[in-house]
Copies of this chain bind each other. A is one copy, B any other.
Amino acid sequence: MPGLFYCLGCLIMARKTKAEAAATRETLLDAAEDMFIEHGVARTSLNQIACHAGMTRGAVYWHFKNKADLFHAMLQRVRLPFEDLLEALDDPTLDQKPLEAVRLACLSGFSHLEQPRYRRVHSILLHHCETFGDIDPLSMQNEMSEDTCSALLKYFSMAAKLNQLRSCLDPDTAAQIMQAMLGGLFHDWLRNHEHYSIYREGARLIGTQLALMQQSP
């Protein structure tokens, strides 16, 4: 346990190695997640974060410029789930089955979301922070929505061309309906993730919805 000893009755924490310093940075971000979820972003002070991590504000101000900088670092530890969702859509074997591609992309997104760190950070973004500093969670949500909707539109258009979409359903409307469903599921599950698995329930709902949208052969 290097660098830990007493000096004049006061506990002195000496310099850490680079690896140790990086670890304390992660510890601080973990502690910030905890406090943000429990008390909200605005109502947790940097001192609360430092204490919960077993340190003082000195550590926080060394690793981060201020609270907004720490918040930004916390966000950058996770990638947005819908990017993964879009990634999974790039499967060449699904070119002839666009609705199946949408289904698998949703499943991929759900499974990413169930990882604790992803879930916690997105819960903070959606439910535990107001507009804060240079970070506007609403515009971030809007970006996610637009990305999702445009990707969905692309695949629903393919489905329409392949005559796999019900004739009464145009691709735009299909994409909007699906995007609203995904957003609703997302918000709902983040509010009470301990009650059910978004992977299981989401898969079931998305599956039946896609079946409703599909042109019966």
Contact = CB atoms under 8 A, between A and B. Distances in A.
A177 interface: yes
B212 A166 contact: yes
Contacts of A128: 130-131
A48 to B, nearest CB: 14
A68 interface: no
Contact of A208 (B138, B173, B211): B173
Contacts of A18: none
A204 interface: yes
Interface in A182-215: 182-188, 191-192, 201, 204-205, 208-209, 211-213
Given A181-B184, A185-B180, A212-B213, A130 B43 contact: yes
A40 B42 contact: yes
A132 interface: yes
A145 to B, nearest CB: 6
A167 to B, nearest CB: 12
Contacts of A168: 208, 211-212
A5 to B, nearest CB: 41
A112 to B, nearest CB: 19
Given A166-B212, A169-B208, 13 more contacts: A40-B130, A42-B43, A128-B130, A128-B131, A129-B130, A168-B212, A169-B212, A176-B201, A180-B181, A180-B205, A181-B181, A182-B184, A184-B185
